[in-house]
Structure 1
Amino acid sequence: MTLDITRLLELTTWRAFDVADDGRVLAGCDESGSVQLVELTDDRRTELTALPGAVTGRYLPGERAVVVQHDSDGDERGQLSLLRLDDRRTRPARLSELEPLVRDTDHVHRLLDVLPGRIVYATNRRNGVDFDVVIRSVVTGEEHVLYDGGGMVAEVSLSPDSRFAGITVPAAKPLSDQVILADTMPETGADRLREITAHDEDGRHLLPGWHADGLVVTSDAGRDHTGIARLDPRTGERTWLITSPSHDLTGRVSPNGRTLLVWAAVDGSHRPALHDAATGEHLRDLVLPTEGWCGHPLPEPVWSPDSRFAAISFSSPTAPGDVLLADTATGTCTPLTFSAAQLAGERLAEPSVHRVPARDGQQIPCFRYSPAEPDGSAVLLIHGGPESQSVRAFNPVVQAMVAQGHSVLVPNVRGSTGYGKDWYSADDARNRLESVDDLADLHRWLPAVGVDPSRAALWGGSYGGYMVLAGLAFQPELWAAGVDIVGISSLVTFLENTAPYRRAHREREYGSLATDADFLREASPLTRASAITAPLFVLHGANDPRVPLTEAEQIVEVLRANEVPCEFHVYPDEGHGLAKRSNRLDAYPKALDFLARRLG
């Protein structure tokens, strides 16, 4: 069989959303064309939902029921419904068969946690901008507001007795979080909220969980690399449990507070291990099927309520996406799905790891995928975020590019996570163009790996789309073509027109319209669009709440007026990216054909 993009896009992938005490796993499966809920056991697979768009979900503890989060055509206005699980069900549930829990399609609702008979969710229905945290009874529908302090809400974790909640919200500085303690008893009144960390502290606080002696978080406060720390809920005192001088560590504490599932970021792969939550002592490693990625951007690993099992989402360059069930008593990881079997006999490219010299003595982490028969061209694929990272996971687009003969470089430019605070902070606010300059350093390196620098293109989505447009606009002599997917063409109009609930959150990273408009305009590709000469391919979802469609329309208008070749495709039933396989099957072959023509 030919390893082409159509076949690669039609591969089924899996991810883990939740796990029950008996080892049943609530998984996401995209076999139908969008991610739907499926229940997995050792010997059985049960399809649970058949909704129009992608969904996520969690088990409701103590019941055979699932809380389903769904939206409409990628608009990200999540709605919450209940699906009662009945072993007699013979087909997956349609939307009309779900019990409404929280339905208001004008606003966003995001599931944060599940408790026996209750759910915890965030909603912006109060004013369309700020997110409140609400606890709702599934039985009576009674609600009470746990937090209404304004802004975005990242994560919530309730103490074992449900009396207190650890809440993380964005802090003042880029990619920093503040931890707030909330008393869940409504009669506590106005004094129910307490700041555990300072609003102006420079540091991440992720994945809060509870130990007998306080909150356990992943943090890099006062450090370059993230480690695992315990916070005293009364004083905010921080006690480090597990740290590394050279790798970012991320950890999730078990519901009983005794065990930490910790994974170390090592050049785009993640290595998991179990540690004692009281002392940080290493207990045992978890053995993955092969070196790869578990955790973000796939769902984070999740514990069963009794702390025996952990469900892990796994991917590697040769495994499209699988669910592993880890038994914490033995350290064994049992695959429940086998996505690599779909590619039996095929040769897939595996990346080599490089450090590319930069203009200032820094080194840019980069993965290189090399074709068996290279044609001398290259495509640089830049991740979104920017607070994210490229990882060694399966990517059908990368594999299809390699099959076409392109060398594919997947860098982690300045602003990427996974390499410490100094690196991810290097592009904040008025340093934005430092990451764009990294593209020129990568271009300069191409001859060293046998690539013709005159036949190099850029590909990226979201913030990666901004990087594509910025590369073409600020370095027009370097790039032969670009593919922009839901990208930002003007930092000014992006901040003006993005969803109101996102604006303040994104200004922390990019700069403020009130104080930095001059630089935002200077760093915008649209400002220098007249310099662009390379052909451009643009994809966008009409319902994108993050990067509005106008970002694509305005750059396309300028390029076409300047008679620069520009292909433009809009998908009316998509949001921030292409979630539906049917649209990906239409869009990506066109984009790859565009690159083949422009780099041939």
Structure 2
Amino acid sequence: DLIFPIHDVNWNERWYITGIDIYKGEKLFTLGDGKSINIPGEAYEEEKIIPYATNRSDPRLFEVYIYNYGTGEEYKIFGPYENIYPIQISPDGDKLVISKSNATWEQNIYVVDVETGEVIDSIEYPDTHFSSIQWIDNEKLYLVTDYNSDKRYIAEYTLNTSFEKILEEEYEIEMMKYRDGNLIYSVNVSGDSVIKIDDEEIKKPKGVLAYIDVDGEPLFSLNTVRYGESIWILKDGKLEPIKYCDKFNELANHLSEPKIYKTIASDGLEIESLVYKAKDSRGTIIYPHGGPESQSRPIYNPLIQVLVNNGYTVVQPNYRGSTGYGKRFRHLDDRRNRERSLKDIVEVLYDLSQKGVIEKDKTAVIGGSYGGFATLYLITHYQDLWRAAVSVVGISNLETFLRNTGPWRRRLREREYGSLDNDLDFLRKISPIYYIDKIVAPLLLIHGRNDPRVPVEESIQIYEKLKSLNRDVDIYIFEDEGHGVAKHRNRVIYIKLILDWISKYMNSI
């Protein structure tokens, strides 16, 4: 009957938590002050309590509280520590699982007493990821992990004993829910979420699973090219969409599904790319993903669909360092290996050109966040390849980025990029801001004023330097956006800005 959504103001990521009775339409409470980040765990409705983490005392550190939404009282049970988040209270109400992130893909797990905060058990292994953590009974957890493995699998953990691997696949398991003796889970196969129940595959459109709900009939939140972000229900062994935008029925014949192409890099590593092929292609857009610990996957992306429908083939390379291909692959771009992963993008471009999939001579590059950094790096180091470029909330200087990003994020980012204390020479060596004299491609910069991850100054500083050199550059700052462009009215502007910029320069010769 209750939901506990998080929300912010103009995408500044200072999240509030609000409790809502969905049947009465009543707001029960709101936690947050507009300055701090507040993240809920799963509510324990028998006692009317919800655990949540907040950094209101110190922006660098989080503390876990138990809030009683029946009485309005709360008490602290854990912290302060960097990047800790509550997960779920045990069935008997006595224990809480807490996750602590040391890096984006490395977590420690703590089981604490709900009343005292005393640590009952801890799981601390280097370079180990934990997700989909769920109590099976009062002493056992199911979870997805890559403990002692390259690929993620499903394990059972009994408190204060050890792991038992209970299910693994050829590819990485990404998500899991346990329900009435059945395991419902998804496997990441070249970016597509393959959903299974006890090893039996459930047919669905190609796309990405975001969430599984097992209260009642199983519900699945999916993002697919054909239906966008949508809710599906499992009935009689089949998935059926029950909530999606009706406009997708009208768009069905205009939506492009990606194909997977494989490139063997110059050092022998296999790199997969998603290619959205345009009919009568007028040119190619290289679209590196953000993260960098992320993956380009077959979802509905309106910008990609607009570009393809306007005659541009879009290529999304999953270069080394991407997720979805195992732990070893994910680490191949860490710190001083970064330039090798960026070279993968260029090698994909040449390979697909040689195979006749794309045209190398009419190419632009677009990227957001880390993909924006990749875009700026590519136009400074491979400047002859690009007719135009667009950087969205991109990093132009890794040093200023690390100094100015949200303090709760800095340690996580240094684990990936290198630290200000030990790697400053390298951070400067690969930062595009130091090579702006080499930029010849017309560059459009887009940013949200309220971005707490990549501050807007990252775009402003490279814009001002390029402008002083009389280079072809423009900038658009959304005053009511953060790390990306989320509001519908702004997304319309954003897509038109990019399409107009790309079309202007791709068709100029």
TM-score normalised over the length of structure 2? 0.94
Find the counterpart in structure 2 of residue 482 from structure 1: 389
State the Cα deviation string for residues 229-262 of structure 1 (Å, max 9, x = none). Answer: 1122213x11111112x31012323366x33221
Find the counterpart in structure 2 of residue 316 from structure 1: 224
Find the counterpart in structure 2 of residue 287 from structure 1: 203
State the Cα deviation string for residues 128-165 of structure 1 (Å, max 9, x = none). Answer: 11111211000112212232151112551221112112
Aligned match of 1:574 in 451, 471, 481?
Answer: 481
More contact order relative to length (CA 8 Å, sep ≥ 6): 1
Contact 1:490 1:551 in 2 (8 A): yes
Find the counterpart in structure 1 of residue 172 from structure 2: 248
State the Cα deviation string for residues 487-524 of structure 1 (Å, max 9, x = none). Answer: 11111100100111111121111111111111111121
Find the counterpart in structure 1 of residue 368 from structure 2: 461
Aligned match of 2:95 in 133, 154, 164?
Answer: 164
Find the counterpart in structure 2 of residue 262 from structure 1: 185
Shift of 1:457: 1.1
Aligned match of 1:179 in 95, 109, 114?
Answer: 109
Matches within 5 A, 1:7-406: 64-86=1-23, 98-116=27-45, 117-154=48-85, 156-171=87-102, 175-186=105-116, 191-192=118-119, 194-198=121-125, 201-212=126-137, 214-235=140-161, 237-244=162-169, 246-254=170-178, 258-275=181-198, 282=199, 284-288=200-204, 290-295=205-210, 300-304=211-215, 308-326=216-234, 330-339=236-245, 341-344=248-251, 346-375=253-282, 377-406=283-312
State the Cα deviation string for residues 284-309 of structure 1 (Å, max 9, x = none). Answer: 43332x232212xxxx22331xxx43
Q: Give the aligned residue type for 1:242.
A: L
Q: Give the aligned residue type for 2:231.
A: V
Distance 1:252 1:125, change over 3 A: same
Distance 1:341 1:594, change over 3 A: closer
Contact 1:169 1:178 in 2 (8 A): yes
Shift of 1:338: 4.1
Contact 2:51 2:86 in 1 (8 A): no
Tell me the SS of whatever aligns to 2:493: helix
Distance 1:452 1:285, change over 3 A: closer
Please, which runs of 5 or more residues in structure 2 have no aligned partner? none
Distance 1:234 1:543 in 2: 44
Distance 1:386 1:120 in 2: 30
Aligned match of 2:326 in 407, 420, 440?
Answer: 420
Distance 1:496 1:472, change over 3 A: same
Shift of 1:107: 0.8
Tell me the SS of whatever aligns to 1:473: helix
Distance 2:249 2:480 in 1: 29
Find the counterpart in structure 2 of residue 595 from structure 1: 502
Distance 2:179 2:264 in 1: 44
Shift of 1:81: 2.1
Q: Give the aligned residue type for 1:192.
A: V
Tell me how large the CA RMSD over aligned residues is: 1.9
Please, which runs of 5 or more residues in structure 1 have no aligned partner? 1-63, 90-96, 276-281
Distance 2:453 2:380 in 1: 22
Number of aligned residue pairs: 502
Q: Give the aligned residue type for 1:195.
A: S
Contact 2:43 2:88 in 1 (8 A): no
Q: Give the aligned residue type for 1:557.
A: E
Q: Give the aligned residue type for 2:16.
A: Q
Contact 1:251 1:260 in 2 (8 A): no
Q: Give the aligned residue type for 2:207.
A: G
Distance 1:192 1:399 in 2: 50
Percent of aligned pairs sharing the same letter: 30
